Chains A and B, each alone.
Chain A
Amino acid sequence: MEDRICLLITKPPHTSEGGKRVCGLTRRARERGVSVAIYLIGDGVLFAKKNLEGNVAITPDQFVSIRAGLNDLLARGITTDKLEYGIEAVEDIEDLFIEDAMEKSRLVVTW
């Protein structure tokens, strides 16, 4: 079974150095062959906006998936054309997250 952890992010990138931590943890996991699934809800969806400075930005690839809550994005005026490449906007984010956290990932980090 795939070695996988997931992250639930509810705060914007520069709160409590969260962005650096989220990116650092994700990059390190990727180096070690651990998959990371990132879920952005509430103010966490601000991570999904394109043109974020490099040290707090992550690009999805074969090891990293990023999903953002569509309703939270739209409420903040971030339409899908303003999303970083590869980030998926989804309507049922809580359900997808719970499925991942309980069945696919061995560790959940909330920030």
Chain B
Amino acid sequence: MLNLVIEITHPPYGHENTFAGLYVALTSLAKGMNVTVILHGDGIYTGLKGHLDPEKHINVISTEKQIEDILEMGGTVIAYRDAMIHRGVEHGELIKGIEVNESAELYDLIIEKTDKIIAF
């Protein structure tokens, strides 16, 4: 099975990048790929849980819901610990099911277990 990594480097709603990247992740899962989403840099903010009706408040699709759907469909979502520390984000603040990786684990995933990688 094709191992696809999708990197998310932006916060959830200020750019279309995050929605668009997660949308590719969902569609790739639906088409039978093995998908890992990496939250890196400001992408860490996309992992924060508890968004309150973003559809109603700011007319955007909930990226939290997208991440939950990715996890439910068997995708993996990984947050990069260094980027969390820079932003004061703790594991308990992340959407349930998101894993936290140290640099070595994260880079080994890319170097050893990834067939294709795309960045948003």
Give A18 to B104 CA distance when docked, in angstroms.
Answer: 16
Q: How many residues of B contact A (CB 8 A)?
A: 20
The segment from A25-33, A57-65, A79-87, A89-97 found at the interface with B is A25-33
Q: Which of the residues A17, A28, A107, A111 comes within 8 Å of B107, measured between beta carbons?
A: A28
- A110 at interface by CB-CB < 8 Å: yes
- CB-based nearest B residue for A107: B114
Q: Which chain A residues numbered 25 to 80 have a C-beta less than 8 Å away from chain B?
A: 25, 28-29, 32, 34
- A110 CB to closest chain B CB, in angstroms? 7
Contact of B9 with A16 in the complex, beta carbons under 8 Å: yes
Residues of B contacting A16 in the complex (Cβ-Cβ under 8 angstroms): 9-10, 40-42
Residues of B contacting A17 in the complex (Cβ-Cβ under 8 angstroms): 9, 40-41, 83
Interface residues of A (CB under 8 A from B): 5, 16-18, 20-21, 24-25, 28-29, 32, 34, 107-111
